[in-house]
Structure 1
Amino acid sequence: MNEDMPKGMITMSMELQNLNLIDLISERHVHLRSLINQLWNTSSDIHISNSEWFIMARIYKKQVTISYVAKHVDISRQATHKLIKNMESKGLVEISKAQHNNKDKCIQLTELGEECYERNKAIKATLEAKIIAAIGVEQAEHLMQVLKLNWGLEMDA
Protein backbone atom coordinates (compact mmCIF):
# COMPACT_ATOMS: atom_id res chain seq x y z
CA MET A 1 0.00 0.00 0.00
CA ASN A 2 1.26 3.48 -0.86
CA GLU A 3 2.10 5.41 2.32
CA ASP A 4 1.74 8.73 0.47
CA MET A 5 -1.92 7.91 -0.22
CA PRO A 6 -4.48 9.76 1.97
CA LYS A 7 -6.06 7.60 4.70
CA GLY A 8 -9.57 7.77 3.18
CA MET A 9 -8.21 6.66 -0.16
CA ILE A 10 -6.44 3.67 1.42
CA THR A 11 -9.68 2.61 3.14
CA MET A 12 -11.68 3.02 -0.08
CA SER A 13 -9.00 1.10 -1.98
CA MET A 14 -9.05 -1.82 0.46
CA GLU A 15 -12.86 -1.96 0.38
CA LEU A 16 -12.87 -2.12 -3.42
CA GLN A 17 -10.21 -4.81 -3.82
CA ASN A 18 -12.54 -7.82 -3.79
CA LEU A 19 -15.40 -6.39 -5.85
CA ASN A 20 -16.27 -7.46 -9.38
CA LEU A 21 -16.63 -4.96 -12.24
CA ILE A 22 -20.35 -4.34 -11.79
CA ASP A 23 -20.04 -3.79 -8.05
CA LEU A 24 -17.01 -1.52 -8.55
CA ILE A 25 -18.95 0.68 -10.97
CA SER A 26 -21.91 0.72 -8.59
CA GLU A 27 -19.79 1.59 -5.53
CA ARG A 28 -18.06 4.43 -7.35
CA HIS A 29 -21.42 5.75 -8.58
CA VAL A 30 -22.95 5.66 -5.09
CA HIS A 31 -19.86 7.35 -3.61
CA LEU A 32 -19.85 10.11 -6.23
CA ARG A 33 -23.60 10.73 -5.85
CA SER A 34 -23.13 10.97 -2.09
CA LEU A 35 -20.27 13.48 -2.47
CA ILE A 36 -22.29 15.58 -4.92
CA ASN A 37 -25.26 15.61 -2.52
CA GLN A 38 -23.03 16.59 0.41
CA LEU A 39 -21.45 19.41 -1.58
CA TRP A 40 -24.86 20.60 -2.79
CA ASN A 41 -26.40 20.48 0.68
CA THR A 42 -23.56 22.53 2.19
CA SER A 43 -24.11 25.26 -0.39
CA SER A 44 -27.91 25.33 -0.69
CA ASP A 45 -31.03 25.39 1.47
CA ILE A 46 -33.02 23.55 -1.22
CA HIS A 47 -32.88 19.76 -0.82
CA ILE A 48 -32.97 18.04 -4.21
CA SER A 49 -33.10 14.25 -4.38
CA ASN A 50 -31.16 12.12 -6.87
CA SER A 51 -34.43 11.38 -8.70
CA GLU A 52 -35.20 15.09 -8.92
CA TRP A 53 -31.70 15.78 -10.33
CA PHE A 54 -32.28 13.00 -12.84
CA ILE A 55 -35.53 14.62 -13.99
CA MET A 56 -33.88 18.05 -14.12
CA ALA A 57 -31.16 16.65 -16.38
CA ARG A 58 -33.81 15.31 -18.78
CA ILE A 59 -35.67 18.62 -19.04
CA TYR A 60 -32.83 21.15 -18.83
CA LYS A 61 -33.32 23.81 -21.54
CA LYS A 62 -36.39 21.91 -22.84
CA GLN A 63 -40.13 21.93 -22.47
CA VAL A 64 -41.39 18.35 -22.55
CA THR A 65 -44.51 16.47 -21.56
CA ILE A 66 -44.77 14.76 -18.22
CA SER A 67 -45.39 11.47 -20.06
CA TYR A 68 -42.06 11.99 -21.90
CA VAL A 69 -40.32 12.43 -18.54
CA ALA A 70 -41.97 9.30 -17.11
CA LYS A 71 -40.80 7.23 -20.10
CA HIS A 72 -37.23 8.52 -20.01
CA VAL A 73 -36.37 8.40 -16.32
CA ASP A 74 -37.22 4.75 -15.57
CA ILE A 75 -39.36 5.76 -12.59
CA SER A 76 -43.01 4.74 -12.32
CA ARG A 77 -45.54 7.17 -13.73
CA GLN A 78 -47.03 7.72 -10.26
CA ALA A 79 -43.64 8.39 -8.70
CA THR A 80 -42.73 10.74 -11.55
CA HIS A 81 -45.90 12.76 -10.99
CA LYS A 82 -45.21 12.91 -7.25
CA LEU A 83 -41.60 14.04 -7.83
CA ILE A 84 -42.71 16.71 -10.31
CA LYS A 85 -45.34 18.05 -7.89
CA ASN A 86 -42.68 18.19 -5.18
CA MET A 87 -40.29 19.99 -7.54
CA GLU A 88 -43.05 22.45 -8.44
CA SER A 89 -43.63 23.20 -4.74
CA LYS A 90 -39.89 24.02 -4.41
CA GLY A 91 -40.13 26.38 -7.36
CA LEU A 92 -37.82 24.26 -9.54
CA VAL A 93 -40.29 23.49 -12.35
CA GLU A 94 -43.41 24.91 -13.84
CA ILE A 95 -46.22 22.85 -15.30
CA SER A 96 -48.42 24.02 -18.15
CA LYS A 97 -51.04 22.53 -20.45
CA ALA A 98 -49.72 20.99 -23.65
CA GLN A 99 -50.75 22.93 -26.74
CA HIS A 100 -51.40 19.82 -28.84
CA ASN A 101 -53.28 17.76 -26.23
CA ASN A 102 -55.55 18.87 -23.38
CA LYS A 103 -54.85 15.72 -21.36
CA ASP A 104 -51.09 16.06 -21.39
CA LYS A 105 -49.12 18.61 -19.40
CA CYS A 106 -45.72 20.09 -20.13
CA ILE A 107 -42.91 20.68 -17.69
CA GLN A 108 -39.88 22.93 -17.79
CA LEU A 109 -37.34 24.26 -15.32
CA THR A 110 -37.97 27.64 -13.77
CA GLU A 111 -35.20 30.20 -13.57
CA LEU A 112 -34.43 28.86 -10.07
CA GLY A 113 -34.43 25.29 -11.40
CA GLU A 114 -31.95 26.18 -14.15
CA GLU A 115 -29.76 28.04 -11.66
CA CYS A 116 -29.72 25.00 -9.33
CA TYR A 117 -28.98 22.65 -12.21
CA GLU A 118 -26.07 24.83 -13.39
CA ARG A 119 -24.63 25.14 -9.86
CA ASN A 120 -24.82 21.36 -9.47
CA LYS A 121 -23.15 20.97 -12.86
CA ALA A 122 -20.28 23.14 -11.56
CA ILE A 123 -19.98 20.91 -8.46
CA LYS A 124 -19.71 17.87 -10.74
CA ALA A 125 -17.09 19.62 -12.89
CA THR A 126 -15.00 20.28 -9.76
CA LEU A 127 -15.20 16.62 -8.74
CA GLU A 128 -14.36 15.55 -12.28
CA ALA A 129 -11.25 17.76 -12.19
CA LYS A 130 -10.20 16.10 -8.92
CA ILE A 131 -10.68 12.64 -10.43
CA ILE A 132 -8.64 13.62 -13.48
CA ALA A 133 -5.89 15.02 -11.24
CA ALA A 134 -5.86 11.76 -9.27
CA ILE A 135 -5.88 9.27 -12.17
CA GLY A 136 -4.35 11.35 -14.97
CA VAL A 137 -5.77 12.85 -18.15
CA GLU A 138 -5.00 9.83 -20.33
CA GLN A 139 -6.63 7.38 -17.91
CA ALA A 140 -9.68 9.63 -17.53
CA GLU A 141 -10.10 9.91 -21.31
CA HIS A 142 -9.72 6.14 -21.66
CA LEU A 143 -12.27 5.52 -18.89
CA MET A 144 -14.77 7.85 -20.57
CA GLN A 145 -14.26 6.09 -23.92
CA VAL A 146 -14.85 2.68 -22.32
CA LEU A 147 -17.98 3.88 -20.52
CA LYS A 148 -19.38 5.28 -23.79
CA LEU A 149 -18.92 1.99 -25.68
CA ASN A 150 -21.89 -0.20 -26.51
CA TRP A 151 -21.30 -3.17 -24.22
CA GLY A 152 -23.90 -5.29 -26.03
CA LEU A 153 -25.94 -5.88 -22.87
CA GLU A 154 -29.42 -5.04 -24.16
CA MET A 155 -32.07 -7.54 -23.09
CA ASP A 156 -33.54 -9.67 -25.82
CA ALA A 157 -37.13 -8.74 -26.64
Structure 2
Amino acid sequence: MIGVNRLTSNSELQNLDLIDLLSERHILVRRISEKAWNDKSNIYISNSEWYIMARIYKKRPTISYVTKNVDISRQAIHKFIKNLSVKGLVKVQNVEYNKKEKCIELTALGNECYEQNAALKAQFEKKIAANISAEQVKVLKDILKLDWGL
Protein backbone atom coordinates (compact mmCIF):
# COMPACT_ATOMS: atom_id res chain seq x y z
CA MET A 1 0.00 0.00 0.00
CA ILE A 2 2.91 2.37 0.70
CA GLY A 3 3.68 2.67 -3.01
CA VAL A 4 0.27 4.13 -3.93
CA ASN A 5 0.92 6.84 -6.52
CA ARG A 6 4.30 7.62 -5.04
CA LEU A 7 5.02 11.24 -5.86
CA THR A 8 8.76 11.14 -5.50
CA SER A 9 11.26 8.32 -5.19
CA ASN A 10 13.33 8.13 -2.00
CA SER A 11 16.43 9.27 -3.91
CA GLU A 12 14.56 12.37 -5.13
CA LEU A 13 13.46 13.12 -1.55
CA GLN A 14 17.12 13.49 -0.54
CA ASN A 15 17.41 16.78 -2.47
CA LEU A 16 14.29 18.47 -1.07
CA ASP A 17 14.21 21.17 1.58
CA LEU A 18 12.08 20.87 4.74
CA ILE A 19 9.01 22.56 3.27
CA ASP A 20 8.96 20.37 0.17
CA LEU A 21 9.66 17.22 2.23
CA LEU A 22 6.71 17.98 4.51
CA SER A 23 4.53 18.64 1.49
CA GLU A 24 5.53 15.45 -0.33
CA ARG A 25 4.98 13.28 2.75
CA HIS A 26 1.69 14.98 3.55
CA ILE A 27 0.35 14.42 0.05
CA LEU A 28 1.51 10.80 0.08
CA VAL A 29 0.00 9.87 3.44
CA ARG A 30 -3.26 11.71 2.69
CA ARG A 31 -3.57 9.92 -0.65
CA ILE A 32 -2.91 6.53 0.96
CA SER A 33 -5.33 7.29 3.80
CA GLU A 34 -8.06 8.41 1.39
CA LYS A 35 -7.54 5.32 -0.79
CA ALA A 36 -7.68 3.00 2.24
CA TRP A 37 -11.05 4.45 3.24
CA ASN A 38 -12.51 4.52 -0.24
CA ASP A 39 -11.39 0.92 -0.92
CA LYS A 40 -13.32 -0.30 2.13
CA SER A 41 -16.37 1.94 2.07
CA ASN A 42 -19.13 2.70 -0.38
CA ILE A 43 -19.26 6.30 0.93
CA TYR A 44 -16.61 8.32 -0.91
CA ILE A 45 -15.12 11.00 1.34
CA SER A 46 -12.47 13.37 0.01
CA ASN A 47 -9.52 14.62 2.05
CA SER A 48 -11.13 18.06 2.26
CA GLU A 49 -14.31 16.50 3.60
CA TRP A 50 -12.28 14.54 6.19
CA TYR A 51 -10.56 17.79 7.16
CA ILE A 52 -13.92 19.45 7.82
CA MET A 53 -15.23 16.38 9.66
CA ALA A 54 -12.14 16.43 11.91
CA ARG A 55 -12.86 20.05 12.82
CA ILE A 56 -16.45 19.31 13.84
CA TYR A 57 -16.04 15.86 15.44
CA LYS A 58 -17.62 15.91 18.93
CA LYS A 59 -18.49 19.61 18.47
CA ARG A 60 -21.29 21.76 17.06
CA PRO A 61 -19.45 24.73 15.55
CA THR A 62 -21.05 27.37 13.39
CA ILE A 63 -20.35 27.26 9.69
CA SER A 64 -18.66 30.67 9.99
CA TYR A 65 -16.33 29.23 12.67
CA VAL A 66 -15.43 26.37 10.32
CA THR A 67 -14.75 28.77 7.43
CA LYS A 68 -12.44 30.86 9.64
CA ASN A 69 -10.55 27.85 11.00
CA VAL A 70 -10.17 25.65 7.94
CA ASP A 71 -7.72 26.61 5.21
CA ILE A 72 -10.23 26.16 2.38
CA SER A 73 -12.19 28.91 0.64
CA ARG A 74 -15.59 29.81 2.08
CA GLN A 75 -17.29 28.82 -1.16
CA ALA A 76 -15.57 25.41 -1.21
CA ILE A 77 -16.42 24.77 2.45
CA HIS A 78 -20.10 25.39 1.72
CA LYS A 79 -19.89 22.95 -1.20
CA PHE A 80 -18.18 20.30 0.94
CA ILE A 81 -20.70 20.75 3.75
CA LYS A 82 -23.53 20.35 1.26
CA ASN A 83 -21.89 17.15 -0.10
CA LEU A 84 -21.42 15.81 3.44
CA SER A 85 -25.06 16.57 4.19
CA VAL A 86 -26.27 14.79 1.05
CA LYS A 87 -24.21 11.75 2.08
CA GLY A 88 -25.91 11.82 5.49
CA LEU A 89 -22.65 12.53 7.35
CA VAL A 90 -23.49 15.95 8.77
CA LYS A 91 -26.57 17.91 9.68
CA VAL A 92 -26.87 21.66 9.45
CA GLN A 93 -29.20 23.46 11.85
CA ASN A 94 -30.16 26.98 12.72
CA VAL A 95 -28.39 28.52 15.70
CA GLU A 96 -30.71 29.44 18.53
CA TYR A 97 -31.02 33.24 18.96
CA ASN A 98 -29.30 33.96 15.65
CA LYS A 99 -31.28 33.70 12.43
CA LYS A 100 -28.23 34.21 10.18
CA GLU A 101 -25.94 31.56 11.68
CA LYS A 102 -26.08 27.85 11.11
CA CYS A 103 -24.24 25.17 13.05
CA ILE A 104 -22.98 21.86 11.80
CA GLU A 105 -22.47 18.52 13.48
CA LEU A 106 -21.76 14.96 12.50
CA THR A 107 -24.68 12.57 12.28
CA ALA A 108 -24.49 9.11 13.85
CA LEU A 109 -23.28 7.84 10.45
CA GLY A 110 -20.73 10.67 10.27
CA ASN A 111 -19.39 9.78 13.73
CA GLU A 112 -19.21 6.11 12.78
CA CYS A 113 -17.30 6.88 9.57
CA TYR A 114 -14.97 9.27 11.37
CA GLU A 115 -14.17 6.69 14.05
CA GLN A 116 -13.65 3.90 11.50
CA ASN A 117 -11.29 6.17 9.57
CA ALA A 118 -9.43 7.01 12.78
CA ALA A 119 -8.88 3.26 13.28
CA LEU A 120 -7.57 2.97 9.69
CA LYS A 121 -5.16 5.85 10.32
CA ALA A 122 -3.98 4.20 13.55
CA GLN A 123 -3.20 1.03 11.56
CA PHE A 124 -1.35 3.15 9.01
CA GLU A 125 0.64 4.80 11.81
CA LYS A 126 1.58 1.34 13.16
CA LYS A 127 2.78 0.37 9.69
CA ILE A 128 4.94 3.49 9.54
CA ALA A 129 6.28 2.71 13.03
CA ALA A 130 7.13 -0.82 11.92
CA ASN A 131 9.26 0.68 9.15
CA ILE A 132 10.92 3.60 10.93
CA SER A 133 10.45 2.55 14.62
CA ALA A 134 7.90 3.58 17.20
CA GLU A 135 10.46 5.88 18.80
CA GLN A 136 11.05 7.75 15.52
CA VAL A 137 7.27 8.18 15.07
CA LYS A 138 7.02 9.56 18.61
CA VAL A 139 9.92 11.96 17.99
CA LEU A 140 8.36 13.10 14.71
CA LYS A 141 4.98 13.69 16.37
CA ASP A 142 6.64 15.59 19.22
CA ILE A 143 8.52 17.81 16.76
CA LEU A 144 5.38 18.51 14.77
CA LYS A 145 3.56 19.50 17.99
CA LEU A 146 6.23 22.02 19.03
CA ASP A 147 5.70 25.74 18.61
CA TRP A 148 7.85 26.49 15.58
CA GLY A 149 7.65 30.23 16.16
CA LEU A 150 6.10 30.85 12.75
Whether the TM-score (by the shorter chain) exceeds 0.5 is yes
| Secondary structure in structure 2 of the residue aligned to 1:103 | strand
1:5-154 aligned at under 5 Å gives the runs 12-153=9-150
Aligned partner of 1:4 in structure 2 is: none
Provide the alpha-carbon RMSD of the alignment: 1.5
TM-score of the two chains, using structure 1 as the length reference: 0.87
Q: Runs of 5+ in structure 1 lacking a partner?
A: 1-7
| Secondary structure in structure 1 of the residue aligned to 2:42 | coil
Q: Which amino acid aligns with 1:101?
A: N
The offset of 1:100, in angstroms, is: 2.5
TM-score of the two chains, using structure 2 as the length reference: 0.91
List per-residue Cα deviations over 1:35-57 (Å, max 9, x = no partner).
11111111011111111100000
Sequence identity of aligned pairs in percent? Answer: 60
Aligned length: 145
| Secondary structure in structure 2 of the residue aligned to 1:132 | helix
Q: Distance in 1 between matches of 2:91 and 2:70?
A: 18
Q: Distance in 1 between matches of 2:41 and 2:12?
A: 31
Q: Runs of 5+ in structure 2 lacking a partner?
A: none
Q: Which amino acid aligns with 2:144?
A: L
The offset of 1:12, in angstroms, is: 3.2
Q: Distance in 1 between matches of 2:88 and 2:138?
A: 37
Q: Which amino acid aligns with 1:46?
A: I
Structure index of larger Rg: 1
| Secondary structure in structure 1 of the residue aligned to 2:44 | coil
Q: Which amino acid aligns with 1:50?
A: N
Q: Which amino acid aligns with 1:75?
A: I
List per-residue Cα deviations over 1:81-106 (Å, max 9, x = no partner).
11111110110100111013111011
